[in-house]
Amino acid sequence: MKNLKKGLLVCLFLFPVLLFAQQDFKLHSHNDYLRNVPFWEAFGAGAASIEVDVILQNGNLMVAHEAETIKPELTLRSLYLEPIQKAVDLGMINAFGFHLLIDSKTEAYSTLEAIVKEVADFEGILFSPQNPKGLKLIVSGNRPKAEDYSKYPEWVFFDYQSKTLTADLPWKKIGIVSLSFRQFSVWNGKGRIVESEKLQLEEFVAAVHSFQKPVRFWAAPDSKSAWKAFYDMGVDFINTDQPAMAQSYLSTLSRNIFSTDSRHEVYQPTFATDGKVAPVKNIILMIGDGNGLAQISAGLFVNGGKLNLAQLKNLGLIKTQAADDFTTDSAAGATAFATGKKTNNRALSVDTSGKPLSNLPEILAEYNFNSGIITTDQLTGATPASFYAHHSERDDLDQIASYLPNSKLDLFIGGGRNSFADKIDAIQASGFEMLGNLDDLALSKADRIGYFSSIGSNPSMEKGRGDFLIKSAMGASAFFKSKNQPFFLMIESAMIDSGGHANSTSTIVTEVLDFDRTVGEMVQFADKNPGTLLIITADHETGGVSIPQGNREKGEVELAFHSDDHTGILVPIFAYGPHSDDFMGIYENNEVFEKVLGLVKKYHSK
């Protein structure tokens, strides 16, 4: 009774998990009776096949693998039949999405006779032509002869275990075909299975399927790599001792895999001034929010092994820690780039005591630079706001927005017009011409330009943002070039971070590819405008992303997530143009500012 109560509590806790959408995989809970809460754990994990070993002893069906482990209270009835009946009575089972695979460890005929007698007490829940959604039993282990299968009730089926598949087998009474995985392969589930062994498995699966029957392999490796391999082979019941973990992995697998037939061409840089000791006139800082090495790698593999980023030669790694936390947020990360000082998380261009810190647009104005910011985020977002506002709390949007009219920016492009609704007059009074169309940007003769791309948040690439980032970057660089003055431009791709928080592979990859297309345009601009230093980096990594598997020929990647938040992983930094080699090495994020300002002071005067 104690075990039953514990089981009910576990199952009630897991009950929401049972409401699975239609899924194209099924799990076999191997040796289920060995779990802390037999049946309920497998049921809660959505297992479609639940295995129980039985030993006939003194007329009782004991649940155990061998006689030495028998415990009098552990019977087929107490561990499985009664809990299943209870689940039906509670309304937790309306239609059976699983069967019991009973592995008979004692003499076939006498054990099966006892099983039939015991299970007959639960006739109301059993499969029949009148109850097609009822419970099926599949007898494995010691079984009667095949010619005797038809003598047993309609709810009894059998586990066929042979490579010999012929049309004269009693297929109507065969519920599943099972073989030891070791008959085909010695693979341990790590790395990749040998191709010839994989082919044998696939051929056997196809042969079983030709008789419209499902297949299972026992003694099989039990790992994520193995589960995916069996899934890809079309194995109907994936054998596992970890049904909850396998369910979690396989149910999100389609969401974690991404590929696309759409690939962009990459630009081949000239490298004419790359790494040369030459004057730096323009500085373009591109920030991929949340864009770590795994995210970049995913974009690379999906795009056929090529990225614009991958053409660049000078790169390093950045430590991202905030002043008050090992793991930075975007506010502290962007403040380090904008001011050269580490600050507390949530703070925008103020020090740890809340005192304003001069940011790059403010400092560079003294050297006759024009400055601009572009973001796919709202303009009050932490990264863009760090380049014009000074405030200790990133969520105080009204206070943050109030800094824009008096900022040293000459250009801003991004979403979030609603946050500036009562400040538009002040923004225009400060000399900003508000564009109604992004296409007008490149040819504008205005002194200062502003453009709100949305009243709230911009859409993601998946939801139709299109070429907004590329058009903004190209238009802004052309706008600044026409002024014949040095300029600083910050370009943020914000939604790589969103994909990391959501653990969305498709969001990450589509945003990385959009960012990379924009990188390509800025590399071309640098080649056409010598003296342009391009810096590409990230404020932090998001999602703890890794790439366990992929397919280079298909341009496919599988991402795994170890977090839904920022991490403290080093992030890459790339540089192109004069003095790009100054950005090589491993260093703190605030040192990017120091390197930039050092070059400004070297070649410009107030």
Asked if 205 and 324 sit in the same domain, the reply is no
**Per-residue pLDDT reduced to its tens digit, 422-455:** 999 999 999 999 999 999 999 899 999 999 999 9
**Per-residue pLDDT reduced to its tens digit, 101-154:** 999 999 999 999 999 999 999 999 999 999 999 999 999 999 999 999 999 999
Residue 562 counted as an annotated binding residue: no
Share of the chain above pLDDT 70, in %: 96
Task: State the Cα–Cα distance between residues 302 and 297, nearest whole angstrom.
Answer: 9
| DSSP-assigned beta bridge partners for residue 541 | 290, 567
Task: Give the helix/strand (H/E) hosting 142.
Answer: none
Task: State the Cα–Cα distance between residues 543 and 568, nearest whole angstrom.
Answer: 10
Residue 228 phi/psi, 5° resolution?
A: -70, -40
Total domains in the chain come to 2
Domain-terminating residue out of 236, 252, 268: 252
pLDDT value of residue 24: 85
Domain-terminating residue out of 252, 284, 302: 252
User: Kind of pairing, strands 487-493 and 99-104?
Assistant: unpaired
Q: Give the residue numbers annotated as catalytic, written as ranges.
A: 330
Nearest to 100 by CA among 66, 126, 64: 126
Residue 36: which pLDDT band, with cuts at 50, 70 and 90?
confident
Asked if 294 and 397 sit in the same domain, the reply is yes
Please check the confidence at residue 21 and state whether its pLDDT lies above 50. no
Task: State the Cα–Cα distance between residues 46 and 247, nearest whole angstrom.
Answer: 7
pLDDT value of residue 6: 44
Please check the confidence at residue 420 and state whether its pLDDT lies above 90. yes
Asked if 190 and 298 sit in the same domain, the reply is no
pLDDT value of residue 426: 97
Q: What is the 3-state secondary structure (H, E, C) of 229-286?
A: HHHHHCCCEEEECCHHHHHHHHHCHHHHEEECCCCCCCCCCCCCCCCCCCCCCEEEEE
Please check the confidence at residue 2 and state whether its pLDDT lies above 60. no
Please check the confidence at residue 16 and state whether its pLDDT lies above 80. no
Residue 396 counted as an annotated binding residue: no
Asked if 304 and 245 sit in the same domain, the reply is no
* Average pLDDT, rounded, for the chain: 95
Task: State the Cα–Cα distance between residues 16 and 13, nearest whole angstrom.
Answer: 7
Please check the confidence at residue 15 and state whether its pLDDT lies above 70. no
Residue 20: which pLDDT band, with cuts at 50, 70 and 90?
very low
Judge whether 71 lies within some domain.
yes
Asked if 374 and 502 sit in the same domain, the reply is yes
Judge whether 259 lies within some domain.
no
Q: At what angle do helices 590-603 and 330-339 cross, to 10 degrees?
A: 20
Who's near 578: CB < 8 A, 6+ residues apart?
A: 273, 274, 275, 276, 277, 278, 279, 280, 530, 531, 533
Judge whether 262 lies within some domain.
no
Asked if 126 and 204 sit in the same domain, the reply is yes
Task: State the Cα–Cα distance between residues 308 and 266, nearest whole angstrom.
Answer: 5
Q: What is the DSSP letter of 94?
A: S
For residues 58-74, give the mean pLDDT.
93
Judge whether 84 lies within some domain.
yes
pLDDT value of residue 11: 45
Judge whether 266 lies within some domain.
no
Asked if 342 and 475 sit in the same domain, the reply is yes
Who's near 97: CB < 8 A, 6+ residues apart?
A: 46, 48
Residue 5: which pLDDT band, with cuts at 50, 70 and 90?
very low
Task: State the Cα–Cα distance between residues 146 and 141, nearest whole angstrom.
Answer: 13
For residues 266-271, give the mean pLDDT.
98
Asked if 284 and 203 sit in the same domain, the reply is no
pLDDT value of residue 23: 64
Let me know: does 570 contact 593? Beta carbons within 8 Å.
no
Asked if 344 and 480 sit in the same domain, the reply is yes
Judge whether 582 lies within some domain.
no
Question: What CATH number has the domain bearing residue 391?
Answer: 3.40.720.10
Residue 82 counted as an annotated binding residue: no
Residue 497 counted as an annotated binding residue: yes
Asked if 154 and 208 sit in the same domain, the reply is yes
Domain that holds residue 116: 2-18+26-252
Judge whether 264 lies within some domain.
no
More confident call, 340 vs 7: 340
Asked if 204 and 320 sit in the same domain, the reply is no
More confident call, 469 vs 12: 469
Asked if 235 and 298 sit in the same domain, the reply is no
Task: State the Cα–Cα distance between residues 446 and 349, nearest whole angstrom.
Answer: 28
Residue 289 counted as an annotated binding residue: yes
Residues written for the chain: 606
Question: What CATH number has the domain bearing residue 99?
Answer: 3.20.20.190
Please check the confidence at residue 13 and state whether its pLDDT lies above 50. no
Q: What is the DSSP letter of 421?
A: G
For residues 524-537, give the mean pLDDT.
98
**Per-residue pLDDT reduced to its tens digit, 255-264:** 999 999 889 9
Who's near 348: CB < 8 A, 6+ residues apart?
A: 331, 334, 335, 382, 385, 386, 389, 390, 391, 392, 394, 400
Q: At what angle do helices 243-251 and 224-233 cross, to 10 degrees?
A: 60
Domain-terminating residue out of 217, 252, 287: 252
Judge whether 269 lies within some domain.
no
